[in-house]
Structure 1
Amino acid sequence: MDYTREQLLDFYETMVKIRFFEEKVEKLFLAGEIPGFVHLYIGEEAIATGVCANLRKDDYIESTHRGHGHTLAKGADLNGAMAEIFGKSTGLCKGKGGSMHIADFKVGMLGANGVVGGGFNLAVGAALANKMKGTDNVAVVFFGDGASNRGTFHEAANLASVWKLPVIFLNENNEWASTTPTHTLTSVKNISDRAVGYDMPGITIDGNDVFKVYETVKGAVERARQGGGPTLIECKTYRIKGHFVGDPEMYRTKEEVNSRFEKNDPIKNFEKKVLSQGLLTKSDLNQVEQKVLKAIEEAVEFARQSPYPEPSELYTDLYV
């Protein structure tokens, strides 16, 4: 593999940061420390990592209700992200967005979205702005398999193609639209097959392989920067946790989940590959893990010690 040691360590650090962050959030939510709902990204870390490794700070991403991983991969501050999920005033959105509406404009993360399919036209709008300003910036919109059936996907894909906008439609097909298996509600075998209707490249890849994600997205980003227009990339993966923390998951068995995770854990897949090829050592990986665990604990303490927003803040930061 033609990767530098620094790149490999960055891939690993981003993936374990997302994994440890989500595991900590789950634990804290179940302990009653976090308000609202949280939707975990565990098992899909290779996608956010491989995608965002191709992006600059001034490129844009649009996320979903399952957006913590995208936020961290794009470079958002760890303390601010944790505080936001706690609903604290030191959070990335002053505690007013929470898990499903987290955003960080400073790094081009335009926001998670509680509306399924709500990010498509926002990302296309960002791509249109880039084109009108004459920059070579790109926009990426992450979306799930369920969102591919929403009208906003088709509207956005059509317009992006007509105007050759620098946007990448990044489908995370984790096989479950909430509690419904994808194959029962999607008309095509591969969601990327829909690209042909909009005259753009459509590619399906293994979303649990960070190298495959990185290399595929790299080509799409280069194409978009050069004025080639949009690309639809489908990353096949699997949602390890329930739709939300606390989901009783009556629609599938624990045996199915455990079996799929054992075969498709993107972090274990990465470890096996780099260790077997002598690209990194177990000591390298352990050092990264310890660094990340320390940072996560510091972020939790930062969030706990931070104040909630003042009641007087209720009507600030509103558009209307």
Structure 2
Amino acid sequence: MNPETSRRLLFDMLRIRSVEETIAARYGEQKMRCPTHLSVGQEAVSAAAGAVLRPTDLAVSGHRAHAHYLAKGGSLKAMIAEICGKVTGCARGKGGSMHLVDESVGFMGSTAIVGGTVPVGVGLSYPMKLNQTGQISCVFLGDAVPETGVFFESVNFAVVKQLPVLFLCENNGYSVYSPLSVRQPPGRKLYELVAGFGLKTHHGDGNDARAVYAALSEGVAAIRAGEGPRFYEFETYRWREHCGPMYDNDLGYRTVAEFEAWKLRDPVPALQRALITEAIVTAADVADMQAEIDAEIEEAFAFAESSPFPPPEDAFTDVYASAAG
């Protein structure tokens, strides 16, 4: 991997982490009045995907979508404004944290419905195949999505039609408060289950950003070459509560020991240490990155706070497609 890509991965991970930690810190101000699903601890997969995908590629996601949106190039100002319910938000203040969209960079939307954007992502890939555009469609998903019927239908269709789809699964081990052990029989692996549909799959460490980047680079190149869809599963871990800015280890669904073990594998300082050791960045470089990120975040929140709320009549716009003229 070239040094430029390594530096980009570190910057993007620091940026995603800082944005979400700021959301958590400021959530108590009561200005962000929508549910928020943070992905602190999972930044490596998003950053690597953002570095591999082209601006012309398309992507969709689920309810935990901040990192995917930002890694694909989505506007931070528009995202914070959306979470604050402002008209300058990426969905004009109507959707909130779980409904992010920035078509200008190919992020085609996220939804609160588990698995809801999987068929959308597959549908987006069909004209790519028919028109031989060279694009791919990336479907970000969590470990609960392969338990939905629509996932199996969509994967089967993508395999039958050999569509250019990257199914990218961040397996953080839990669906809300339910671990895989109560949702899947002993010994079953998600990537092996999905492989039964006839597509190539991969399983890896989601806390190693450069390894994720290398694996995705190979897979995306194969998809672009016409080899059909692929499924990539990376094991990772969310630090904060399922929904909200706090921690929920007191609920008893996961142990403090498990949480602390995953924190020791924090992908952000791990990459930072490696790049400093390899003389790809210096501590001063990292400080400069952080200062740039902090300034951008401050500007985004200022933009959101100064933006107006949508007028009441906006509640009735863009509800249905307009009738054909």
TM-score (norm: length of structure 1): 0.96
CA distance in 2, matches of 1:314, 1:150: 31
CA distance in 2, matches of 1:216, 1:176: 24
Deviation at 1:27, TM superposition (A): 1.8
Any idea what the Cα deviations from partners look like across 1:28-78, whole Å, max 9, x if unmatched?
Answer: 222212012000010000001101111111101111100000000000111
Which residue of 1 is the match for residue 254 of structure 2?
A: 252
CA distance in 2, matches of 1:240, 1:183: 19
CA distance in 1, matches of 2:319, 2:191: 37
Asked if the contact 1:22/1:41 (under 8 Å) is kept, the reply is yes
Any idea what the Cα deviations from partners look like across 1:251-283, whole Å, max 9, x if unmatched?
Answer: 223343123112x21101101211122221111
Asked if the contact 2:239/2:247 (under 8 Å) is kept, the reply is no
CA distance in 2, matches of 1:103, 1:180: 29
Which residue of 2 is the match for residue 205 of structure 1?
A: 204
Deviation at 1:247, TM superposition (A): 6.7
Q: Does 1:299 align with 2:300?
A: yes
Any idea what the Cα deviations from partners look like across 1:227-247, whole Å, max 9, x if unmatched?
Answer: 110011001111111101157
Which residue of 2 is the match for residue 26 of structure 1?
A: 24
- The correspondence for 1:122, drawn from 95, 120, 129, is 120
CA distance in 2, matches of 1:316, 1:155: 32
Superposition pairs of residues 1-320 of structure 1, within 5 angstroms: 2-4=1-3, 6-187=4-185, 188-245=187-244, 246=246, 248-249=248-249, 250=251, 251-262=253-264, 264-320=265-321
* Structure 2 letter corresponding to 1:157: V
Any idea what the Cα deviations from partners look like across 1:201-225, whole Å, max 9, x if unmatched?
Answer: 1110101111111111111111111
* Identity score, percent: 34
* Structure 2 letter corresponding to 1:260: W
Deviation at 1:291, TM superposition (A): 0.5
Unaligned runs of 5+ in 2: none
TM-score (norm: length of structure 2): 0.94
Deviation at 1:93, TM superposition (A): 1.3
Aligned to 1:314, what secondary structure does the other structure show? helix
Q: Which shows bigger deviation, 166-175 or 7-16?
A: 7-16
* Structure 2 letter corresponding to 1:136: G
CA distance in 2, matches of 1:119, 1:186: 23
Change (3 A) 1:286 1:61: same
Deviation at 1:184, TM superposition (A): 2.2
Superposed CA RMSD: 1.3
Any idea what the Cα deviations from partners look like across 1:129-175, whole Å, max 9, x if unmatched?
Answer: 21122211001111111111111111111111010000011110001
Deviation at 1:248, TM superposition (A): 4.1
Deviation at 1:9, TM superposition (A): 2.2
Q: Which shows bigger deviation, 179-188 or 57-66?
A: 179-188
Deviation at 1:79, TM superposition (A): 0.8
Unaligned runs of 5+ in 1: none
CA distance in 1, matches of 2:175, 2:10: 28
Q: For this pair of structures, how many residues does the alignment match?
A: 317
Asked if the contact 1:44/1:208 (under 8 Å) is kept, the reply is yes
Aligned to 1:53, what secondary structure does the other structure show? helix
Any idea what the Cα deviations from partners look like across 1:276-297, whole Å, max 9, x if unmatched?
Answer: 2222111111110110011101
